[in-house]
Structure 1
Amino acid sequence: MRLLPRRPRSVRTRLVLISTVLATVAVLVSQAAGLAVMRSWLTGQIDQRLTQFRPPPPAAYGKPPHGLAPEDVLPSDFRVFFYAPDGRLRSDSLGSGTGRPRLPASASRLALEDGRPATVPDAGGGGGWRVVADRGPDGRPVVVALPLDTVEGATSKLLWFSLAIGAVVAAGVGLLGSAAVRLGLRPLARMERTALRITGGESALTVADTDPRTETGRLGIAFNTMLGQVRAALLRKDASERRLRRFMADAGHELRTPLTSIQGFAELLVEQPRLPAARRREAHELIARNAERMSRLVDDLFLLAKLGYAPVAHRETVDLLSLAADGVGAAVVAHPGREVRLAPLGGGGGDGPGATLDVVDALGDAHQLSQVIANLLANACRHTPPGARVEVRVGAVRTGAETGGTDRPGRSSATVALPAGVPACVVEVADDGPGLTPDAAQQVFERFYRGPSAGENVEPGSGLGLSIAATIAEAHGGRLELDTRPGHGCVFRLLLPRSVGAGPHGPA
Structure 2
Amino acid sequence: MRRLRRLRPRSLRSRLVLIAALLATGAVLLCQLAGLTVLRGWLTDQVDDRLAHFRPPGRVYGDAGTGKAPQPPRPDDTLPSDYRVYFYDRDGHLLRTSLGSGESPGPRLPARKADLNLTMGRPSTLPAEGGASGSGWRVVAYEGPDRMRAVVALPLDTVDGATTKLLWLSLALGAAVAVGVVVLGNGAVRLGLRPLTRVEHTAQHITGGALELNVPVADPDTEVGRLGLALNTMLDRLRTALHRTETSEARLRHFMADAGHELRTPLTAIQGFAELLLDEPDMAAGRRHEAHALIAHNADRMSRLVDDLFLLAKLGEAPVTHREPVDLLSLAADAIATTAIRHPHRTVTLEPLPAPPGPPGTAGAGEPSGAGTGGELDIVETPGDPHQLAQVLGNLLSNAAVHTPPEAAVRVRVGLTRVTAGGAPGSGRSLPPGTPVCVVEVADDGPGIKPDEAHRVFDRFYRATPHDRSGAPGFRADREPGSGLGLAIAAAIAAAHGGRLELDNRPGEGCAFRLLLPDATAAPEGHADEAHRAPRPT
Structure 1 residue 464, shift from structure 2 partner: 0.8
Question: Equivalent residue for 2:480?
Answer: 459
- CA distance in structure 2 between the partners assigned to 1:265 and 1:333 by the alignment: 30
- CA distance in structure 1 between the partners assigned to 2:454 and 2:29 by the alignment: 83
Partner SS state of residue 67, structure 1: coil
Indicate the larger mover: 431-440 or 243-252: 431-440
- CA distance in structure 2 between the partners assigned to 1:68 and 1:278 by the alignment: 163
Question: Equivalent residue for 2:441?
Answer: 428
1:349 aligns with 2:390: no
Alignment partner of 2:490 out of 463, 469, 472 = 469
Indicate the larger mover: 283-292 or 318-327: 318-327
Alignment partner of 1:181 out of 174, 189, 192 = 189
CA 1:441–1:166 in 2, change beyond 3 Å: closer, same or farther? same
Question: Is contact 1:210–1:221 with CA below 8 Å preserved after alignment?
Answer: no
Amino acid at match of 2:60: A
1:391 aligns with 2:372: no
Question: Equivalent residue for 2:79?
Answer: 74
Partner SS state of residue 258, structure 2: helix
1:447 aligns with 2:460: yes
Question: Equivalent residue for 2:121?
Answer: 115
Indicate the larger mover: 179-188 or 259-268: 179-188
- CA distance in structure 2 between the partners assigned to 1:333 and 1:146 by the alignment: 133
Alignment partner of 1:268 out of 273, 276, 288 = 276
Amino acid at match of 2:52: T
Alignment partner of 1:86 out of 86, 91, 95 = 91
Structure 1 residue 442, shift from structure 2 partner: 2.7
Output one character per residue of 1:20-77: Cα deviation in whole Å (capped at 9) or x when no partner.
11211111111111111111111222222223332332335524654359xx963342
Output one character per residue of 1:373-415: Cα deviation in whole Å (capped at 9) or x when no partner.
33223322333345544433333322225xxxx34xxx44245
- CA distance in structure 2 between the partners assigned to 1:101 and 1:365 by the alignment: 113
Indicate the larger mover: 294-303 or 210-219: 210-219
CA 1:83–1:247 in 2, change beyond 3 Å: closer, same or farther? same
TM-score by length of 1: 0.85
Partner SS state of residue 193, structure 1: helix
Alignment partner of 2:321 out of 314, 320, 323 = 314
- CA distance in structure 1 between the partners assigned to 2:33 and 2:323 by the alignment: 81
Question: Is contact 2:326–2:385 with CA below 8 Å preserved after alignment?
Answer: no
Output one character per residue of 1:144-191: Cα deviation in whole Å (capped at 9) or x when no partner.
332222222211111111111111111111111112222222233333
Alignment partner of 1:248 out of 256, 259, 265 = 256
Alignment partner of 1:438 out of 443, 447, 451 = 451
Amino acid at match of 1:231: R
CA 1:319–1:166 in 2, change beyond 3 Å: closer, same or farther? same
Partner SS state of residue 298, structure 2: helix
Partner SS state of residue 16, structure 1: helix
Question: Is contact 1:73–1:95 with CA below 8 Å preserved after alignment?
Answer: no
Question: Equivalent residue for 1:56?
Answer: 57
Amino acid at match of 1:297: L
Question: Equivalent residue for 1:413?
Answer: 426
Structure 1 residue 5, shift from structure 2 partner: 8.9
Question: Equivalent residue for 1:501?
Answer: 522
Question: Equivalent residue for 2:176?
Answer: 168
Output one character per residue of 1:456-478: Cα deviation in whole Å (capped at 9) or x when no partner.
65232221111122233334443
Structure 1 residue 444, shift from structure 2 partner: 1.5
Question: Is contact 2:501–2:515 with CA below 8 Å preserved after alignment?
Answer: yes
Partner SS state of residue 141, structure 2: strand
Alignment partner of 2:501 out of 458, 474, 480 = 480
Question: Is contact 1:318–1:364 with CA below 8 Å preserved after alignment?
Answer: yes
- CA distance in structure 2 between the partners assigned to 1:136 and 1:152 by the alignment: 31
Question: Is contact 2:405–2:477 with CA below 8 Å preserved after alignment?
Answer: no
Question: Is contact 1:317–1:500 with CA below 8 Å preserved after alignment?
Answer: no
Question: Is contact 2:417–2:438 with CA below 8 Å preserved after alignment?
Answer: yes
- CA distance in structure 2 between the partners assigned to 1:350 and 1:157 by the alignment: 101
CA 1:355–1:276 in 2, change beyond 3 Å: closer, same or farther? same
1:96 aligns with 2:101: yes
Question: Is contact 1:397–1:506 with CA below 8 Å preserved after alignment?
Answer: no
CA 1:86–1:343 in 2, change beyond 3 Å: closer, same or farther? farther
- CA distance in structure 2 between the partners assigned to 1:294 and 1:359 by the alignment: 38
Question: Is contact 2:60–2:70 with CA below 8 Å preserved after alignment?
Answer: yes
Partner SS state of residue 278, structure 2: helix
Question: Equivalent residue for 2:311?
Answer: 303
Question: Equivalent residue for 1:36?
Answer: 37
Aligned residues: 496
Structure 1 residue 117, shift from structure 2 partner: 2.5
Alignment partner of 1:280 out of 273, 288, 296 = 288
- CA distance in structure 2 between the partners assigned to 1:257 and 1:268 by the alignment: 17
Partner SS state of residue 173, structure 2: helix
Question: Is contact 1:315–1:363 with CA below 8 Å preserved after alignment?
Answer: no
- CA distance in structure 1 between the partners assigned to 2:78 and 2:98 by the alignment: 11
Indicate the larger mover: 171-180 or 228-237: 228-237
Structure 1 residue 447, shift from structure 2 partner: 1.4
* Structure 2 stretches lacking a partner, 5+ long: 356-365, 468-474, 524-529
Structure 1 residue 448, shift from structure 2 partner: 1.0
CA 1:95–1:396 in 2, change beyond 3 Å: closer, same or farther? farther
Structure 1 residue 203, shift from structure 2 partner: 4.4
- CA distance in structure 2 between the partners assigned to 1:370 and 1:108 by the alignment: 124
Output one character per residue of 1:307-326: Cα deviation in whole Å (capped at 9) or x when no partner.
33x24153746435254455
CA 1:67–1:3 in 2, change beyond 3 Å: closer, same or farther? closer
Percent of aligned pairs with the same amino acid: 60
CA 1:313–1:474 in 2, change beyond 3 Å: closer, same or farther? closer
